[in-house]
Structure 1
Amino acid sequence: MSLRIEELSDRLVVTLDRPEKRNAIDAELIRQLHEVCAELEARPRLLLLTGGVDGIFAGGADIGQLRERGRLDALAAINSAAFARIRALPMPTVAAVDGPALGGGAELAYACDLRVCTARAVFGQPEVRLGILAGAGATHRLPALVGEARAKELLFTGRRVDAEEALRIGLVNRVVPEPDGLLDCAHELLDEMAKGSALALRLTKLAVDAPAAAHPHLDLVSQAVLFEDDEKYRRMTDFLERRRPR
């Protein structure tokens, strides 16, 4: 197996597990990511995606396989389809990055809603130096994260971004100084999300990810659904009772 999967009550913890290949993303790993997505589409939960704390998130696509792919493989969207599916999961996702996240590995991290990393994390898109482009999401997700001009610089040059810069430019949400704290940080972030209504989380993610033309109509319909939800009534009643003078 290329993935290790831990199932908790409200989340899946998925760890890339190809240490001998620096967690390079190959066809089998992609197949298993599709299986994870199918599980989370059928039974929506939070997702924590990580390479563990062994100093590597994912060193990119498996170059041995990539070198042999032709134009029909490119059109088949082997990696980008899986990453798009992760991006579209119903509930929020967090990538926990220790060490290099390069090429397809960086694009896998970008596909998650939020990213936390260690101080030794490094992000980069070296594709142009290999004669290809970053075709699994970086050309549109990276500009959304860090702005068009900075994204173009990183995509055109292949320059790597360390953790400090990644935090400064908005590529990651949090940086932990030591690897031992990485997964705790990611779980703490997910714990904060889990305090909210699951339906409200789902509809908020749907609204944030929707194209501009969908607003404000999607927001209004989503709010209408939530206004009729029993969970909304219970939570607001609890809030008002806590505020009531004794």
Structure 2
Amino acid sequence: MADALRVESADDRMIVTLTRPEKKNAIDQRMIDDLHAVCDDLEATPRTLIISGSGGVFAAGADIAQLRARRADDARRGINTQAFRRVRALPMPVIAAIDGWALGGGAELAYAADIRIGTPSLRIGNPETGLGIIAAAGATWRLPEIVGHARATEMLLTGRILEAEEALAWGLVASLHEPEDLLAAAHAIADRIAANDALATRHTKTALRASADEHPHVELELQAELFESPEKERRMTAFLARKSTR
């Protein structure tokens, strides 16, 4: 059986492509298992993750044939939820490069990313209520954080699918690029991340994920660690040296 993901690794990033083109990259159990393996790797060796889809589609949803067969115990196991929580919690940033459809579970995987970019053909949303279920793998709490409660409520209760320009205007994606330029744009973001201090980047992501009750204590503790970092000393010394020669 072919892998559900194509994985390419470099020193500072991993590129993961969803590869079920015959099913429009619908997320099935095999893909979830492969995502867990990716998370195992990135938790052990933190790098930026770029996620994209093959065949002009990000992911057209969860695999409906498998969903139809699932029962209450399967729902309580949170099959997709647990994988997407691990993606969201990865130490380094996650970039979703979205071309075409990102629906249902595909949209929820995109919501788990830290940065989302797309193409003009992007279509994203959660039509789950039309299938007799809810968006239970992150949309009900992540989408309001991204686009605001009112807009998320409209999307989730109506099953509205946003087109690319709407998604950009709502802040659901940060930028739009032609399909042939999408991965290059994702790599350009990863390049900017790689130019920064990895520990400072990880700590920034930790602070961004913290709850309101944890602020400002969490930032102060993370900053305290960075203030003792040799990399902070090196980078600031280099900055001051460059400034003195201008």
> What TM-score results when the alignment is normalised by the length of structure 2?
0.98
**C-alpha displacement of 1:9:** 1.5
Matches within 5 A, 1:222-233: 222-233=222-233
Distance 2:155 2:217 in 1: 36
Distance 1:146 1:19 in 2: 29
Structure 1: unaligned runs, 5 residues or longer: none
Q: 1:216 aligned to 2:212?
A: no
Matches within 5 A, 1:81-100: 81-100=82-101
Distance 2:84 2:166 in 1: 24
Instruction: Name the aligned partner's letter for residue 15 of structure 2.
Output: V
Kindly provide the CA deviation profile for residues 150-190 of structure 1, in whole angstroms up to 9, marking residues without a partner as x. 101100111110110000001001111x2000000111111
SS state of the match for residue 180, structure 1? helix
SS state of the match for residue 115, structure 1? strand
Structure-2 residue corresponding to 1:44: 46
The two structures, once aligned, show a CA RMSD in angstroms of 0.8
Distance 1:232 1:160 in 2: 44
Query: What is the aligned-residue identity percentage?
Result: 57
Matches within 5 A, 1:190-209: 190-209=190-209
Kindly provide the CA deviation profile for residues 200-245 of structure 1, in whole angstroms up to 9, marking residues without a partner as x. 0000100111001111111111001000001000000100000113
Kindly provide the CA deviation profile for residues 47-100 of structure 1, in whole angstroms up to 9, marking residues without a partner as x. 001004x32100100000000000000000000000011000000010000000
Structure 2: unaligned runs, 5 residues or longer: none
Structure-2 residue corresponding to 1:17: 19
Structure-2 residue corresponding to 1:243: 243
Distance 2:164 2:35 in 1: 26
SS state of the match for residue 117, structure 2? strand
Aligned pairs, number: 244
Distance 2:150 2:236 in 1: 44
> What TM-score results when the alignment is normalised by the length of structure 1?
0.98
